[in-house]
Structure 1
């Protein structure tokens, strides 16, 4: 029997005060060792789902389960949840509050009552993981936007969560900043951290994720990312566009340049590499 998901929403629903239901009857499981893209248009409920998973909001209906057990929302239950699941919000200025990067990253481990030496180790490892060791003593208000993003992630990583949840982590970053962040996420995944990313960027999802969860008007659909993003009716219902890589692959197959079932390029760079590889062979 497979192990239970690390964290799971079961029949979850939520509505903000004096408003309609944002989510209803959502089943969403996060297994260990996967990278998951949570997709949907703006206002579809992605951020609400993330806050339910991390305990920032409490399910109005249904329940949140951690390692197969219902989460209790008392101090002990929430501490257990937040040492397993960490949320990084979209705007780092909503998360950073200490005077320096090192102080901010150390806040979570210190709140766990860890020994001072253990806190120092976690801060150092987190700064190294995010490639911002040189910024440890830098005032947070003097950081660039991309540096603030990475500092906020470092604070979550210092808690050593099994699941790292991120809300639109590439929003506001230039292309170079996006690539640096994706490199960081790849390293975290390689070290065993499960990453869930909310985004409306279908190209990023296709390139980065193993699995996808798509919020559409008729509910949540989950499955392998390439399978879901090939479903034109689902994309239309969710108001998401077709991924660039899938459109290119379809055009190549239609012209007999790419075998049926063969993976197509997901980025312009991969298209260049593919063209360079097939060019001599075609000639």
Structure 2
């Protein structure tokens, strides 16, 4: 198992951290064992692995939805207590958005759904309204505030579900396959919303099968393989062919292009690698004008 030390990398204690964590469902084999996973402030982390590798289980452990069978969950360096007070503190710091928005949305309108979490915190009505307004604006769905949730498109439901988590003003937002089922335009709108959240100081962890998205979007990657959880800079991990094969992940498009450019002497050591077709167009255009 490989890992980096976010305390060293970021100069501070991780916001939330699994230490030696293991979990098995009732009457089943261990899904995760001995997992160390730390989420440092201000990072964008992509969690990758094949189906059944334990990604969703890891996210639920990290957010307190499941309790570690072994090891521990820590918040700001202190072990989380799974009582009312401890879980409330965790869930005002870490919010999980599940893959299917229909598992999360339940209120009659978007604004009512987004207000549910803040209202449960017992906040004053004015503060609840402010949080709902901020969350709707952050996800670019202000116009949908009064729309019945059952009349939303799939992409709109995704963003409404995320807005409900954002209204809790978490320091860490965890999402399970947030771009699954979205068309390219819907993906771009969601990524724009996530960029705004990150600019506002939110740390984002995203489970995804999309290695191209991970390479383009994330600072760091966490790859679940049979040998354990491997963490590090996203470009380094997604250039590790042996790790990708073990995790049953394909090589990202951007990594393949960068290797080709280097093989032909067109990309120097340490030069920024094009990670999207648009960046490749800009790169080749610059070569032509030189």
* TM-score category of the 2 structures, normalised to the smaller one: over 0.9
Q: Secondary structure at the match of 1:59?
A: coil
Aligned runs of 1:159-178 on 2, under 5 Å? 159-178=168-187
2:210 is the counterpart of 1:201: yes
Per-residue deviation, 1:3? 2.4
Match of 1:265 in 2: 274
State how far apart, in whole Å, the 1-side matches of 2:196 and 2:286 are.
28
Instruction: Please identify runs of 4+ aligned residues in structure 1 that moved more than 4 A.
Output: none
Equivalent in 145, 150, 170 of residue 141 of structure 1: 150
SS in structure 2 at match of 1:214: strand
Shift of 1:252: 1.1
Number of residues of Structure 1 aligned to a counterpart in Structure 2: 281
Q: Secondary structure at the match of 1:79?
A: helix
Using the size of structure 1 for normalisation, the TM-score is 0.98
Q: Does residue 103 of the first structure (1) align with residue 112 of the second (2)? A: yes
Equivalent residue number for residue 4 of structure 1? 13
Q: Which residue of 2 aligns with 1:52?
A: 61
Residue 245 of structure 2 aligns with which residue?
236
Deviation of the 1:147 alpha carbon: 0.2
Partner of 2:122: 113
How far the C-alpha of 1:274 sits from its partner, in A, is 1.2
CA deviation profile, 1:25-73 (whole Å, cap 9, x unmatched): 0000001111101111111000000000111000011110000111011
- 1:19 maps to 28
Q: Name the residue aligned to 2:3.
A: none
Q: Secondary structure at the match of 1:86?
A: strand
Structure 2 distance, partners of 1:176, 1:134, is: 18
1:185 alignment partner in structure 2: 194
Q: Give CA-to-partner distance per residue, 1:211-247, whole Å, 9 cap, x none.
A: 1111000101111111111111111111111110010
Give deviations 1:86-143, integer Å, cap 9, x for gaps: 0000000000000100000000000000000000000000000000001000000000
SS at match of 1:117: helix
Q: Secondary structure at the match of 1:165?
A: strand
- Which residue is 2:4 aligned to? none
> Which runs of no fewer than 5 residues in structure 1 stay unpaired?
none
State the shift of 1:148 in Å.
0.2
2:13 aligned counterpart, secondary structure: coil
